[in-house]
Structure 1
């Protein structure tokens, strides 16, 4: 995470460094991103960079957490608007992101996702892990709408929904948006209703 020294910088100098980092991670995959190019674009000495961040991964994580907070705030609003319906909120989050896909932070998120398709979606969220995100949203989720049978069901479902959303956003870059959304609706429907046969199992017969 950024050092106190970074947060003590004048706002314009902080933003200059972050803007250079965003541009670099949008331009090339994470593995090819260069700290040297970032500091040259930002106009800061190499030594100063390492006073602000431990390494490239630390900087990348910080940027991703900034994006994640933006999405988390929106998700909280959508859960409230949909009466705590987790599935409806995720579908509306997709619609929201696609609606502003070419604007500012969302455009950058989309480009970085596409550049780094091999990364797990959780690498783009809070470094404390999915539980940290879910715990901040938990009180907004209407649990009565869900068939939760174990203590980990909500966490596992949330993980599946985030993974599905991220995958659909990436897919939406290469197919028609209506096709990507239709597939998301189908997958959400499967998760919502369950896919197991309603016929009695061998053990029940």
Structure 2
């Protein structure tokens, strides 16, 4: 857990510590990472680290939380930009995430995240849409969707998130190129958009 003492630091010092932690988690998984390596790279005493975070898990999940906030902001911005169009918003979001995790300074970090992903990490990697549904639902043009209830909307968003995660995992498995990966995701989103039944059929 992050402590208020860390949040009280200057942005420059926060970024220095977070960059050091990110480099360490790019080198090793959470269970194999070392506080010693982080404080050495950040140039801070060990005691200061524990004034900022309870433990390694604290800074690890704080980094993930910041990533999730960034993704949520992009989704909200997209829904405004595309006037509530879910398909366009999530295609844009996917391309944004793919570009972010593919940057040279981020690739090793996110690769380790995906190679060591568990349920908690997976739930934190993308924003919890159910928790943020009240905000998001106001931006979605539901009149264009075949949705009859709030619960159905949650199901649809969860399906989209699952499709996103599966495709992102394939990026690090190197099974397809990034260009092909985006092409596949767009096709899958369009399939979700159109449904599996022909118009007029049951």
Q: Aligned equivalents of 1:165 and 1:41: distance in 2? A: 34
C-alpha RMSD of matched pairs (Å): 2.8
- Give unpaired runs (5+ residues) of structure 2: none
Q: In the alignment, which residue of structure 1 is the partner of 2:87?
A: 87
CA contact under 8 A between 1:85 and 1:141: conserved in structure 2? yes
TM-score of the superposition, structure 1-length normalised?
Answer: 0.80
Number of aligned pairs?
198
CA contact under 8 A between 2:25 and 2:109: conserved in structure 1? no
1:109 CA drift (Å): 6.5
CA contact under 8 A between 2:68 and 2:126: conserved in structure 1? yes
Q: In the alignment, which residue of structure 1 is the partner of 2:196?
A: 195
CA contact under 8 A between 1:6 and 1:52: conserved in structure 2? yes
CA contact under 8 A between 1:67 and 1:105: conserved in structure 2? no
User: Structure 2 vs 1, CA of residues 88 and 6 (structure 1 numbering), >3 Å: closer, same or farther?
Assistant: same
CA contact under 8 A between 1:22 and 1:108: conserved in structure 2? no
- SS of 2:54's equivalent? coil
CA contact under 8 A between 2:39 and 2:49: conserved in structure 1? yes
Q: In the alignment, which residue of structure 2 is the partner of 1:66?
A: 66
Q: What are the residue-to-residue correspondences of 1:22-41 with 2, within 5 Å?
A: 22-41=22-41
1:118 CA drift (Å): 4.2
- SS of 2:130's equivalent? helix
1:79 CA drift (Å): 1.4
Deviations 1:53-84 (A, max 9, x none): 12222211211121122222222222122221
Q: In the alignment, which residue of structure 2 is the partner of 1:131?
A: 130
- SS of 1:83's equivalent? coil
1:112 CA drift (Å): 4.5
1:123 CA drift (Å): 2.2
Between stretches 80-89 and 7-16, larger displacement belongs to 7-16
CA contact under 8 A between 1:3 and 1:52: conserved in structure 2? yes
Q: In the alignment, which residue of structure 2 is the partner of 1:163?
A: 162
CA contact under 8 A between 2:22 and 2:109: conserved in structure 1? no
CA contact under 8 A between 1:110 and 1:170: conserved in structure 2? no
Q: In the alignment, which residue of structure 1 is the partner of 2:179?
A: 178
Q: In the alignment, which residue of structure 1 is the partner of 2:122?
A: 121
1:56 matched to 2:59? The reply is no
Deviations 1:117-176 (A, max 9, x none): 4455322245xx432333332221111122223331222222221222132123134111
CA contact under 8 A between 2:65 and 2:124: conserved in structure 1? no
